[in-house]
A and B are shown apart, each in its own frame.
Chain A
Amino acid sequence: MIGVLKALWLVLLHSGHRRDTVQYPEQEPYLPPRWRGRIVLSRDPDGVERCVACYLCAAACPVDCIALQKGEDETGRWFPEFFRINFSRCIFCGLCEEACPTYAIQLTPDFEMCEHDRRDLVYEKEDLLISGPGKYPDYSFWHVSGKAIGGKEKGEALHEQAPADVRRLRP
């Protein structure tokens, strides 16, 4: 009996509480920077697309919504000939972002991507590519990877060391 009255009183007290609802279209909810929303493909600081078409994202994707095809340019760099994300399948788990060795694929705090037609949710590379480096402004895979590409041998890039001679004992 006392419990019943106490419950009534506690609920009545909520008349004075602030409402938790965010009035969405007028009032935008705060989304933290690491919020997992719309997926983008970023570029490195030189403005070249970061993706090296290693297929790790497609392999990591639990719903198989990423499809791409590796291509190779005249300097020996790999790049995706096409890169397709089917957002009607995507579950925004972020595993592709974790798998990516070049920070190319990133999830952004944006969820407003509704479409009337399901086919419009298939994003091609030109829909996914952004003009900037996204969350990692200074990172460039080709400057640290130690891979020989056209015009640059191993260890010649800005943040690379010359390759060690594995047949010598001295460090």
Chain B
Amino acid sequence: MTGPAATLTQIVAIFVAVLTSAALLTWAERRLLGLWQDRYGPNRVGPFGLLQPLADVIKLLMKEDFVPPAADKTVYVMAPMVVMSTGLIAFAVVPFAPGVGISDLSVGLLFFLAITGLTVYGIVLGGWASNSKYSLLGGLRGAAQMISYEVFLGLALMGVVLLAGSFDLRTIVEAQRGLWFIVPQLSGFLLFLIAGVAELHRLPFDLPEAENELVAGYHTEYSSMKFGMFFVGEYVGMILLGAMTTTLFLGGWLGPVLPPLLWFVLKTALLVVFLVLLRAALPRPRYDQLMALGWKVLLPLALLNLVVTGGFVVASAASAGGAA
């Protein structure tokens, strides 16, 4: 099955699948947090509370769609769209399984980095356009945090690129057929995960929102479905981080017995559950601690990882060349 019709089908299928899982993830996260806090979480709407996202959507749609009089209206409306659409666009390059995936860009990894880099606009513009001090503070924090952590989000991945010798995500997955990159690139994996959580501004790195200091940070003034789009954007981002970590470090769709797509979904789900566990267990660092951790610890580590991996690749290439 090839041609534009097939691509269109895949686009619609992946779009629906991602949005559905993002909605279900809001439910799953609350159930998991409930489990770890010795309570139930939403369990009344439908079987196991599975229809809770639906109820939430109905509630959000019923809410007044308020735009603050002092807000910059155009930008204010644009910001949540930016957050949600960048999250969804990045899924264009995710290789779910052989034959499943929208686009096989030869620079897929760079595309992913570029698109996630755009998310910060949603945060900053949302915080700025709301014309409220809490929003502005959240937006400023978001800008500094996300731009800082983006630096070694990219650097942590360069080890993988060196080992696989390609920016093409499918080639990277195929290069892990013998050994998943989590083993030779363990530090890269950890760095990527930490940077990813910071990039997503999820707890424990949710300083742009920080509800006990900044009300709700950059989306304080947002209500109704505009808030809903920020919310969905966050959960789409969680799935994206899980999917990309799976692709880059956990062998993507590779795995015995089970069909490739199922392997991919399983690994992604496990990572997403881990992200929820991070939220359940860890407190939020202070802002200067966050910056110090980023620039003084994670950045040198990422550079070190890159240098060591590069040296290893050069050495093994030299010895292979010498042997030949």
Q: Which residues of A are at the interface with B, using a C-beta cutoff of 8 A? A: 4, 7-8, 10-12, 14-15, 17-21, 23
Determine if A8 and B38 form an interchain contact, defined as CB atoms under 8 angstroms apart.
Answer: no
3 nearest CB pairs, A to B: A11-B281, A7-B281, A21-B39
Determine if A10 and B281 form an interchain contact, defined as CB atoms under 8 angstroms apart.
Answer: yes
* Mask of B269-292 contacts with A, CB within 8 angstroms, 1/0: 000000001101110000000000
Determine if A14 and B38 form an interchain contact, defined as CB atoms under 8 angstroms apart.
Answer: yes
Alpha-carbon gap, A60 to B286, bound state (A): 49
Q: Which residues of B contact A18 (CB under 8 A)?
A: 38
Alpha-carbon gap, A10 to B280, bound state (A): 10
Determine if B40 and A12 form an interchain contact, defined as CB atoms under 8 angstroms apart.
Answer: no
Q: Which residues of B contact A7 (CB under 8 A)?
A: 281-282
Q: What's the nearest-Cβ distance from chain B to residue A9, in Å? A: 9
**Interface SS of chain A: helix, strand, loop or mixed?**
helix
Q: Which residues of A contact B277 (CB under 8 A)?
A: 8, 11-12
Q: What's the nearest-Cβ distance from chain B to residue A97, in Å? A: 33
10 A/B residue pairs, CB under 8 Å, sorted by A: A7-B281, A7-B282, A10-B281, A11-B277, A11-B280, A14-B37, A19-B38, A19-B40, A20-B39, A21-B40
Determine if B36 and A8 form an interchain contact, defined as CB atoms under 8 angstroms apart.
Answer: no
Determine if B282 and A14 form an interchain contact, defined as CB atoms under 8 angstroms apart.
Answer: no
Number of chain B residues close to chain A: CB under 8 A: 12
Contact (A14, B39) CB under 8 Å given A7-B281, A8-B278, A8-B282: no
Alpha-carbon gap, A23 to B34, bound state (A): 14
Check B54 for interface membership: any CB of A closer than 8 A: no
New A-B contacts (15) at CB < 8 Å, excluding given A11-B277, A19-B40: A7-B281, A7-B282, A8-B281, A8-B282, A11-B280, A11-B281, A12-B277, A14-B36, A14-B38, A15-B35, A18-B38, A19-B34, A19-B39, A21-B38, A21-B40
Q: Which residues of B contact A8 (CB under 8 A)?
A: 277-278, 281-282
Q: What's the nearest-Cβ distance from chain B to residue A50, in Å? A: 43
Alpha-carbon gap, A20 to B35, bound state (A): 10
- The total of interchain contacts (Cβ-Cβ below 8 angstroms) comes to 34
Q: What's the nearest-Cβ distance from chain A to residue B194, in Å? A: 10
Closest A residue by C-beta to B39:
A21
Residue with the greatest number of chain A CB neighbours at <10 A, chosen from B35, B36, B277, B281: B281
Alpha-carbon gap, A157 to B40, bound state (A): 59
Alpha-carbon gap, A15 to B38, bound state (A): 8
- Could you say which of B35, B40, B278 contacts A14, with CB atoms under 8 Å apart? B35
Q: Which residues of B contact A20 (CB under 8 A)?
A: 38-39
Alpha-carbon gap, A105 to B36, bound state (A): 44
Q: Which residues of A contact B39 (CB under 8 A)?
A: 19-21
Closest A residue by C-beta to B44:
A23
Q: Which residues of A contact B37 (CB under 8 A)?
A: 14
Q: What's the nearest-Cβ distance from chain A to residue B286, in Å? A: 15
Closest B residue by C-beta to A20:
B38
Determine if A15 and B282 form an interchain contact, defined as CB atoms under 8 angstroms apart.
Answer: no
Determine if B40 and A11 form an interchain contact, defined as CB atoms under 8 angstroms apart.
Answer: no
Q: Which residues of A contact B278 (CB under 8 A)?
A: 8
* Mask of B37-51 contacts with A, CB within 8 angstroms, 1/0: 111100000000000
Q: What's the nearest-Cβ distance from chain A to residue B276, in Å? A: 10
* Mask of B237-267 contacts with A, CB within 8 angstroms, 1/0: 0000000000000000000000000000000
Alpha-carbon gap, A19 to B38, bound state (A): 4
Alpha-carbon gap, A17 to B280, bound state (A): 15
Q: Which residues of B contact A11 (CB under 8 A)?
A: 36, 277, 280-281
Q: Which residues of A contact B40 (CB under 8 A)?
A: 19, 21, 23
Alpha-carbon gap, A23 to B281, bound state (A): 25
Q: What's the nearest-Cβ distance from chain A to residue B88, in Å? A: 30
